[in-house]
């Protein structure tokens, strides 16, 4: 009978030790999972920032292309010996002002 009781006590001790190890492993896994969740959330914020940054630079590229197109129109207008008046060729803005200044300089040269 003592041996049965000793076996039961030993088994209980082993089960307690295993439960303690399993609890420790579960806690480590929970910590790792929480760390991973925080990392994913951090990357989500970074992704939003990157998306906003990409949109900003796309807008800047569009503005640069438009400016380049305006400069090209101005250049072609300047090269044309039979150019139309600047006030009809260019509707408004800096391009029209530059064209008008060139027109003035060419007339008074």
DSSP letter for 10, please: H
pLDDT tens digits for range 11-38:
888 888 888 888 888 888 888 888 888 8
CB 58 within 8 A of CB 82: no
The C-alpha atoms of residue 83 and residue 72 are separated, in whole angstroms, by 14
In contact, 96 and 90? CB cutoff 8 Å: yes
**Which residues of the chain carry a pLDDT beneath 50?**
none
Whether this model's pTM surpasses 0.75 = no
């Amino acid at each position: 009978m003592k041996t049965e009781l000793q076996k039961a006590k030993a088994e209980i001790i082993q089960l307690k030790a295993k439960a303690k190890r399993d609890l420790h492993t579960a806690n480590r896994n929970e910590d790792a999972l929480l760390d991973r969740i925080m990392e994913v959330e951090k990357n989500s914020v970074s992704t939003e920032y990157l998306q906003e940054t990409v949109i900003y630079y796309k807008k800047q590229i569009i503005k640069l292309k438009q400016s380049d197109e305006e400069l090209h129109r101005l250049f072609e207008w300047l090269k044309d010996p039979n150019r139309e008046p600047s006030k009809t060729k260019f509707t408004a803005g800096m391009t029209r002002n530059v064209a008008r200044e060139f027109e003035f300089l060419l007339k008074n040269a």
